[in-house]
Chains A and B, each alone.
Chain A
Amino acid sequence: MLLASSLLAAQFWYSIPLIVSVSLVYGATRHELWQPILYHAWHTAVWMIVFMGVIFAILYAVSLTV
């Protein structure tokens, strides 16, 4: 269990650069000025983290029942 948790934690960090990069680029294709780009990027990042968190929670719950 501890090994699985540490493996998961180690792999989790790989998602951070992707989330930052995708959010910024997506925001920049929707706006031209820095303030709205950063605002949009922040909201996109939060949305992605929540979405992935929900998927993770569902899969984790399923894995406990199987």
Chain B
Amino acid sequence: MPTPEKTAAPLDSLEIDLREPNFAALLAWLWPGLGHMYQRRYAKGVLFMVCILGTYFFGLALGEGKVVYASWNQVERRWQFPLQLGVGLPAAPAVVQSLAVRRGGELPLGKFMAPPKSQEELSHWHNTLNIRFELGTLYTMVAGLLNVLAIWDAFAGPVISEPGGKERGPPSDDDKDKKA
């Protein structure tokens, strides 16, 4: 088991205790921001939760709950779903619905996140939702991809974007004095 000292990510003078990075990454995948909450990085946890889940649910609402579904058959090969699954549990109902369709049983969640039964039904969705179908798909895909970044942040800490690992920010008064 890694000790907190070994998993702490050095970032200039800032040290971050990542606790159990693998467990934190799992939590971050299951529910965006939860991994950071576990690591006691509450502010970032709230930021990830609000931004990622806000994007995901806004997209889902735009598409009236029809834009997230798992389907890999003659009707449609929904390649967008693996990306949407990046948000974790909020996309899980689509898996449940897809499995129910495969078994030929009753859909436990009704039409919510259920795959289309035929090409005609899919065309009907596109006709009625129009651009909101594409936008909803885009929003939910982007949310899933953003959570991949958040999962990596929970696992390894922030990616240092400048050589030397210095925190970048607006120039301080000291910097201005040095330039003068």
Contacts and interface: CB of A to CB of B under 8 A. Distances in A.
Contact of B51 (A11, A24, A31): A24
Contacts of A28: 44, 47-48, 150, 153, 158
A48 interface: no
Given A18-B139, A26-B149, A32 B169 contact: no
Interface stretch (B52-60, B85-93, B109-117): B52-60
B169 A29 contact: no
Interface of A is mostly: helix
Contacts of B14: 32-33
- Interface size grouping (class) on chain B: 20 to 34
A60 interface: no
Interface of B: 11, 14, 16, 41, 43-44, 47-48, 51-52, 54-55, 58, 131, 135, 138-139, 142-143, 146, 149-150, 152-153, 157-161, 167-170
30 contacts: A17-B54, A17-B55, A17-B139, A18-B55, A18-B139, A20-B51, A21-B143, A22-B142, A24-B51, A25-B51, A25-B52, A25-B149, A28-B44, A28-B47, A28-B48, A28-B153, A30-B158, A30-B160, A31-B161, A32-B14, A32-B16, A32-B41, A32-B167, A33-B167, A35-B170, A36-B167, A36-B168, A39-B168, A40-B161, A40-B168
